[in-house]
Structure 1
Amino acid sequence: MLREKLSKYNIILASGSPRRQAFFKDLDIDYEIRLKEVEEIYPKELKGAEITDFLADLKSQPFDNELTEKDILITSDTIVWFKNEALGKPKNYEDAFNMIKKMSGKKHDVITSISIKNKNFQKIINDTTIVYFKDLSDEEINYYINKYKPYDKAGAYGIQEWIGRIGITKIEGSYFNVMGLPVHKLYDELLKLD
């Protein structure tokens, strides 16, 4: 269904994330991957989804002069939003440990924004999932970081990994959003393309 709808477009995924690439394969659409380096810096006054909206747009800007009407460029960004603070990707072991320790026994939001763009238009959508962690022991946190090295993940964890299985007690919203892409929302937006 979606495949036929998009057959007249060149779908470009600007993401090096293996999880996002897998989601695109699962959607059964033809796409290509194009990557451009972007320094992910945002104005400090932004909060929550304003940050991910800004960064999803920022990631799309280096492509502006090369997009045609037939291109559909998709960029996205995910953060963990905890107690009025954005937790991005950890810089090192200590940073990862501190992030997970902070969230232990508490809830946090995972926010992902997606920019859908071509030469003539842009639409930015976002989704929020609430995630609840049990009280995690230092041993559990250490084991997870040492074994899974979650340095490429916002908030220093992947819900699909060991820590998600033993540590997450409940989620409210999309599981796939926590993995980095609210696939249901992207699917609905792509269906709306003329």
Structure 2
Amino acid sequence: MSASLFLASASPRRRELLASIGVDTVVGAVNIDETPRPGEAPGDYVLRLASEKACAGGKLTLLPALGSDTAVVCDERILGKPHDKAHAHEMLRALSGRQHQVMTAVAVIGGAGLLKTCVTTQVFMRDITDAEIEAYWATGEPQDKAGGYAIQGLASVFVERIEGSYSAVVGLPLFETAQLLQRQDVPLWKAMP
């Protein structure tokens, strides 16, 4: 079976999410500058990065190309991936016992041009103790995750509830992504029996 989409991302989670709706992908990471611009709003930031990734991927293939970016946002501040244990601790303390937003943008370039959208999900975390943060850091899971946690992993025990798209928090809003893919004539369920 041949791929129907170029995924401009090295994220195994995004590849798995696309596979879950039957989209077979070719994966190729693209290198773009992910530095936020001065005064750039978080939603604009993730939309810009998703678009730049899709466009960079589109230059590498004849297939439609998908780019995506996710940001954990607390008090209008983008929380990136933790630099070290102290940074992860600081981020998880900031998220503890309160609500924050996860913004995920997706862009697909193909025959219909560049199509894009951004999905914001509200995430409500319970109070997290310092001992839990220490133990969570020791698992290794938070080290390469935006906001220092993975909702689909061990940190799921910290999340009281969400309002919005679970798959967007994991890394790709499937409902909205499917709509964009269909507009680009990328078939869904292609790999399904």
Give the TM-score of the pair, scaled to structure 1: 0.88
- Larger mean Cα displacement after TM superposition, 45-54 or 119-128: 119-128
Contact 1:12 1:74 in 2 (8 A): yes
Contact 2:79 2:147 in 1 (8 A): yes
Matches within 5 A, 1:22-171: 22-68=16-62, 71-118=63-110, 121-165=113-157, 167-171=158-162
1:136 counterpart letter in structure 2: I
The 3 A distance-change label for structure 1 pair 67 and 18 is closer
2:166 is matched with which residue?
Answer: 175
User: What is the Cα-based RMSD across aligned positions, in Å?
Assistant: 1.9
Is the counterpart of residue 187 in structure 1 residue 181 in structure 2?
no
Matches within 5 A, 1:5-16: 10-16=4-10
Percent identity over the alignment?
30
- Deviation of 1:67 after TM superposition, in Å, equals 4.4
The 3 A distance-change label for structure 1 pair 98 and 168 is same
Matched positions, count: 185
Give the TM-score of the pair, scaled to structure 2: 0.88
- Deviation of 1:102 after TM superposition, in Å, equals 0.7
SS of 1:102's equivalent?
helix
Q: Distance in 1 between matches of 2:28 and 2:49?
A: 17
Contiguous gaps of at least 5 residues in structure 1? none
2:13 is matched with which residue?
Answer: 19
Contiguous gaps of at least 5 residues in structure 2? 186-193
For residues 44-86 of structure 1, what are the alpha-carbon distances to aligned partners after superposition, in whole Å with 9 as ceiling and x for unaligned? 2111211100111222343454444xx2100100001110100
